[in-house]
């Protein structure tokens, strides 16, 4: 019987010593240069974004938003080759396509309400009055907190919170794409499903917001649309103008469900699934603040916000179930090639083994 040869480790050029562990080698000059280039690029990006915001308003157009997102990834990974950046187009192209379909479909849904087919209005009003003992929350909030002659600090906060809808979800997605692609894919599956459910509902159940109902004479309380009012108060009227233009071009009867509230809750829940429970109360502040903002500003009824949150729960449970099914399928179904490779590896390790006899013995 031939002895088993001893395990030979490859030669190493350096030896670890206590001094080398306490004083690790300094980063290379190339690493310093890469960090410096990233800082310069991101600083330039920040300056350009602020100038865009101050001079022309916050970007809310789909193409403009994606241009800024692409610029952010280019600046962050400025040292990467162009092939790396093509991955962004591959991964984010379908998202851009879905957003374009979303915008176009909302327009078609709105056109479907012209003529004899009117949007749903009275159902949401009745639901809110039932929930709040006959009071309409939007009208009550504006009666107590809205001053047409003076913008308060909470009006500014409302404008910022409302605008955050255009930033937070895709901003979170960009961070995940740069840092953790698996988490990015998990988040975007939920984002896709939620967006698709919203678009389908807009077609099947076009619903008007409170400000529309007041203008149409259905709502007798005085309700105005004030989601962009805070920008004028702090000298950023261009942002309010751009948002106002976007509001007029968008679907005016896409109130049910409130995707503003839905995306706010989705972001909070997804982040909450990654952090300790002690942070959950803080994360809950954002979707609640978004809901209050939407109701106070006349953009949505409370029932719209609640249904948006229900959609998030449905999407989260459904996508999680599909993910669990897919993982179990991948674990239980081993490809035939892997089985063959495993048998070959065993035969190489133990040349004289009879795999069929081993299998029969295992069965008994």
| pLDDT band, very low/low/confident/very high, at 317 (cuts 50, 70, 90) | very high
What pLDDT, on a 0 to 100 scale, did the predictor assign at position 9? 46
**Structure tokens of 221?**
């309380």
CA angle 309, 268, 38 (to 5 degrees): 140
**Stretch 66-91: mean pLDDT:** 78
What does the DSSP assignment read for 133-201?
TT--HHHHHHHHH--TT---HHHHHHHHHHHHTTTHHHHHHHHHHHH-HHHHHHHHHHHHHHHHHHHHH
Angle at Cα 291 formed by Cα 135 and Cα 224, nearest 5°? 60
Q: How confident is the model at residue 100 (pLDDT cuts 50, 70, 90)?
A: confident
Q: What is the mean pLDDT of residues 31-54?
A: 78
**pLDDT confidence of residue 60:** 66
**Confidence tier at 109 by pLDDT (50, 70, 90):** low
Q: Check if the beta carbon of residue 196 is closer than 8 Å to that of residue 114.
A: no
- Report whether pLDDT(32) > 90: no
Domain edges within the chain? 113-333, 336-364
Q: Is the pLDDT of residue 85 over 70?
A: yes
pLDDT at 286 over 90: yes
8-24 confidence digits (pLDDT tens): 444 544 455 555 545 55
Q: Which residue has the higher pLDDT, 33 or 157?
A: 157
Tell me the torsion sign for CA atoms 28, 30, 36, 39. Answer: negative
* pTM of the complete model: 0.73
For the residues 335-354, what does the mean pLDDT come to?
Answer: 60
What are the CA-CA distances from residue 304 to residues 47, 66, 126, 196 (Å)? 37, 28, 12, 17
C-beta separation of 124 from 301 below 8 A: yes
- What tokens does 44 get? 């330039």
Tens digit of each residue's pLDDT (9 = 90 or more) over 149-187: 888 899 999 988 998 888 888 889 989 988 898 999 999
């Amino acid at each position: 019987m031939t002895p088993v040869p001893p395990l030979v480790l490859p030669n190493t050029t350096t030896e670890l010593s206590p001094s080398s562990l306490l004083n690790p080698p300094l980063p290379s000059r190339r690493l310093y240069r890469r960090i410096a280039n990233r800082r310069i690029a991101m600083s330039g990006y920040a300056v350009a974004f602020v100038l865009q915001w101050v001079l022309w308003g916050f970007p809310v157009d789909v193409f403009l938003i994606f241009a800024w997102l692409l610029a952010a990834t280019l600046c962050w990974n400025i040292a990467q080759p162009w092939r790396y950046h093509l991955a962004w187009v591959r991964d984010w192209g379908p998202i851009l396509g879905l957003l374009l379909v979303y915008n176009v479909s909302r327009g078609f849904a709105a056109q479907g309400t012209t003529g004899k087919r009117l949007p749903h209005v009275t159902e949401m009003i009745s639901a809110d009055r039932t929930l709040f003992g006959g009071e309409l929350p939007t009208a009550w909030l504006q009666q107590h907190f809205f001053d047409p002659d003076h913008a308060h600090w909470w009006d500014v906060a409302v404008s910022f919170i409302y605008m955050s809808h255009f930033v937070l979800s895709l901003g979170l997605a960009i961070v995940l794409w740069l840092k953790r692609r698996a988490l990015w894919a998990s988040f975007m599956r939920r984002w896709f499903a939620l967006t698709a459910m919203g678009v389908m509902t807009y077609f099947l159940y076009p619903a008007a917001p409170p400000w529309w109902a007041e203008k149409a004479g259905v709502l007798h309380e005085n309700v105005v649309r004030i989601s962009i009012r805070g920008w004028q108060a702090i000298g950023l009227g261009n942002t309010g103008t751009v948002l106002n233009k976007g509001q007029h071009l968008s679907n005016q009867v896409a109130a049910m469900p409130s995707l503003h509230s839905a995306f706010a809750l989705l972001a909070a829940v997804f982040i909450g699934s990654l952090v300790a429970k002690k942070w959950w109360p803080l994360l809950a502040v954002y979707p609640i603040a978004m809901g209050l903002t939407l109701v106070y500003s006349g953009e949505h009824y409370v029932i719209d916000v609640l249904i948006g949150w229900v959609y998030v729960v449905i999407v989260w449970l459904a996508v999680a179930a599909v993910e669990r099914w897919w993982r179990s399928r991948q674990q239980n179904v081993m490809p035939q090639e892997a089985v063959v490779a495993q048998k070959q590896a065993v035969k190489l390790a133990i040349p004289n083994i009879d795999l069929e006899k081993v299998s029969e013995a295992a069965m008994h």
